[in-house]
Structure 1
Amino acid sequence: MTVNKVWTLKSIAKELGVSNATVSNAFNRPDQLSKKRRDDILESCKKMGYSGPNKAAQSLRNGRFNIVALVLPDSVEYMITDPVASNFVKGVSAVLENSKVNLLLFSGTSDSINAVSDFVDGFICYGSPRNTELIDQLRTTTKKVVTADFDIDRKASIGIDNEQAAYEIAKLAINSKDDDIAILGLRLLDSNLTCRVYDLPSSDFTCSISHQRLKGYRRAIKELDVNLRDDRVWNIPASKHNSALIAVREALTSSPRPNVLLCMSDLIALTAIKEINSMGLKVPEDIRVVGFDGIDEALHSSPVLTTVHQNSEKKGNKAAELFIDRATDSVLIPFHIEHGGSC
């Protein structure tokens, strides 16, 4: 037998003196051969270094790859360190692994989904990608698409009612018409700068959870007849301590100083609480702070953070189930308010 040769199904069958179908059955349809015949063929193939029919070629022929690309809103490096995103990925992977489907993490900063489109069964897209061109590509691809935390009219999406959740927590935080409010927003602008927001870009508000949350805050503020100053909304480009700290310090040194901070993530809110404490001020006596997400760290802050809790792992589970079931549902999962001591 010839060893160290690049074997194909056809050449290995010829070498063994059997049909192509017999070799294929030995690897893929064991019920078609006797155990001894199959074992003999597999043992011979092993000795010659042939590991079986080309899986990529098989996938191309049958149109199934058992791979799903999970499109993240930002770089893979950033997203796997974010506790909310990592819980979502955990939920997706648990369901896919149970169904023998592989997961490919795809950066939302990439130029095009075309790099992987020919080799995956479809896409689960978590949040609106930084590269907005990917959204148009996801709208038009012929592959299955499930979106999480935004909707692109592909008939399958999962999320929470972000506007209603923001409305409810804002109403909880605001006590008086005389309250002075600051909104520490997350990615309200397509910018890498931490800055004040005076005008929002004209965009589809249903596509951004941050814009939905801002809409909920403003609805509560209007209903409670409280004035939101024009310079009291910040854009924070990433849910990270250093990015949030710039906005927090600007807000806390504004005059008059706000006594209510509506934060679009728990990490932003935890940064705010730490800075307020370092200034010798008290939460909630001097400044009330609320967050959004319900991450584990929020339970260990001093005081414990009042926040919107969403089950990101369950959201990931459901996104994967929608994909596997080829569902066309638009699903909202429940949220609840975690009552801590920060407001």
Structure 2
Amino acid sequence: MNRHDPNFSPKIIDVARAAGVSTATVSRAITNPTMVTEATRAAVMAAIAETGYIVNHAARNLRRQQTGGIVVLVPNLSNPFFSQILSGVAAVMSEAGFNVLVADTQQPKGADLQIAQYLHNNRADGLIVLDGAIPESLFADYRRTRSRPPVVFACEWVEGFGEPSVTIDNAEGAMLAVNHLIDLGHRKIGHVLGPLDNVLTIKRREGTISALEAAGLPVHPDWFFEGDFSLASGVVAARAWLATSDRPTGVFCSSDAMACGFMAELHSHGVRVPEDVSVVGFDDIEIAQHFIPKLTTIHQPRTAIGEAAARMLLARLSGNSDDVDSVRLTVELVRRDSTGAPPIR
């Protein structure tokens, strides 16, 4: 084998020899990486680089009657929360030879029609869905479709749909946030909600209430402020907090974006964080550790969520659906500068 020979065209058998495996193993490592060990896949990838072998994805997809692409349905592409998840998905899928198309489910026109087309025809080999607010009617039609791409949920999910998912324990994360405020001495704790019908909002609200009740603290309806996960809704929540006569001294926001908007608006009114009010976020997006003050928050392993969802979808595409179970990843509290002891009054 001479890579420097201009007439040399490496074949799969050359890769197999270089990796010390069979051609069938090379094929599996390329087309279905979940079917080989990590060490075997690494050896095959190294042999491909060594030999200069070029994988013909178009021919492979034609043989397998696949498009060679998957679609990720995202509820709001402008939300920085999704960046690391998408990065994790792309890293795993590109290694497996799949292109990744990202579609925004909150486009003002034709979103439902576009989603239906992805769910019910061969425009994509599979879907990763990050939006739990997709109309149930679309998934009802999906169940009745014989030829349908496999679906994996990530972060959000549709209750009762039955497809595998990669999630975190949102209620547990909320309890970590509220218990942190309680441990600091706060007894008047508020909560900025996400969209009321969102599964994440529901679970985080449940966790907030559970932590308050377990500590014997009041669940004050006026201290539960409306929001929608956005920066702007955090500003609105801060104005509602300012207009409250009996203000909570600690506030748990259902997203970091809302927490940042909340703190920025308070700063413009001369309210200090954490001296006057402590604030906890949820997600640990990039800005959280650079905001002033640095935001105490609940860390989600976003890259790991994307990677796990992609591997789960690859397993389903390879026909291993029976071995695919839902996964719940752990969260942790990250203590920074936005929380402290309650003010003395």
TM-score under structure 2 normalisation? 0.70
| Corresponding residue number in structure 1 for 2:79 | 82
| Corresponding residue number in structure 2 for 1:104 | 101
Pair 1:302–1:157, CA change in 2 (3 A): same
| Corresponding residue number in structure 1 for 2:4 | none
* Residue 269 (structure 2) pairs with residue 279 (structure 1): yes
Q: Which residues of 2 match residues 124-143 of structure 1 at below 5 A?
A: 124-137=128-141, 142-143=148-149
CA distance, structure 2, for counterparts of residue 189 and residue 114 of structure 1:
21
Could you give the per-residue CA deviations for residues 226-256 of structure 1, whole angstroms, max 9, x where no partner exists?
112222223323x332232112211222111
Pair 1:318–1:30, CA change in 2 (3 A): closer
Q: Secondary structure at the match of 1:172?
A: helix
- How far the C-alpha of 1:167 sits from its partner, in A, is 0.7
Q: Which residues of 2 match residues 143-158 of structure 1 at below 5 A?
A: 143-152=149-158, 153-158=161-166
Q: Secondary structure at the match of 1:325?
A: helix
| Corresponding residue number in structure 2 for 1:159 | 167
- How far the C-alpha of 1:186 sits from its partner, in A, is 1.2
Could you give the per-residue CA deviations for residues 38-81 of structure 1, whole angstroms, max 9, x where no partner exists?
xxxxxxxxxxxxxxxxx79x85x853222112112x2xxx32x2
* Residue 338 (structure 2) pairs with residue 342 (structure 1): yes
Pair 1:125–1:304, CA change in 2 (3 A): same
Opposite residue 328 of structure 1, the aligned amino acid is V
| Corresponding residue number in structure 1 for 2:208 | 217
- How far the C-alpha of 1:151 sits from its partner, in A, is 4.2
Pair 1:114–1:275, CA change in 2 (3 A): closer
Opposite residue 336 of structure 2, the aligned amino acid is G
Opposite residue 100 of structure 2, the aligned amino acid is L
Pair 1:234–1:63, CA change in 2 (3 A): farther
Q: Is the 8 A contact 1:145 1:154 kept in 2?
A: no
Opposite residue 246 of structure 1, the aligned amino acid is V
* Residue 111 (structure 2) pairs with residue 120 (structure 1): no
Q: Is the 8 A contact 1:128 1:135 kept in 2?
A: no
Q: Greater Rg, structure 1 or structure 2?
A: 1
- How far the C-alpha of 1:139 sits from its partner, in A, is 5.2
| Percent identity (aligned) | 27
* Residue 243 (structure 2) pairs with residue 247 (structure 1): no
CA distance, structure 2, for counterparts of residue 240 and residue 127 of structure 1:
15
Q: Secondary structure at the match of 1:272?
A: helix
| Corresponding residue number in structure 2 for 1:26 | none
Opposite residue 127 of structure 1, the aligned amino acid is D
Q: Is the 8 A contact 2:225 2:240 kept in 1?
A: no
| Corresponding residue number in structure 1 for 2:90 | 93
- How far the C-alpha of 1:340 sits from its partner, in A, is 0.7
- How far the C-alpha of 1:87 sits from its partner, in A, is 1.6
Opposite residue 231 of structure 2, the aligned amino acid is H
| Corresponding residue number in structure 1 for 2:17 | none
CA distance, structure 1, for counterparts of residue 12 and residue 337 of structure 2:
63
- How far the C-alpha of 1:143 sits from its partner, in A, is 2.2
Q: Secondary structure at the match of 2:193?
A: strand
Q: Which residues of 2 match residues 187-336 of structure 1 at below 5 A?
A: 187-189=195-197, 208-237=199-228, 239-326=229-316, 327-336=323-332
Alignment coverage as a number of residue pairs: 267
* Residue 177 (structure 2) pairs with residue 169 (structure 1): yes
- How far the C-alpha of 1:330 sits from its partner, in A, is 1.0
Q: Secondary structure at the match of 1:262?
A: strand
Q: Is the 8 A contact 2:299 2:334 kept in 1?
A: yes
Opposite residue 124 of structure 2, the aligned amino acid is V
Instruction: Return 303-312 or 104-113, whichever deviates more.
Output: 104-113
Opposite residue 147 of structure 1, the aligned amino acid is F
Q: Which residues of 2 match residues 171-186 of structure 1 at below 5 A?
A: 171-175=179-183, 179-186=187-194
CA distance, structure 2, for counterparts of residue 171 and residue 30 of structure 1:
57
Gap runs ≥5 in structure 2: 1-10, 14-57, 317-322, 340-345
- How far the C-alpha of 1:91 sits from its partner, in A, is 1.1
TM-score under structure 1 normalisation? 0.70
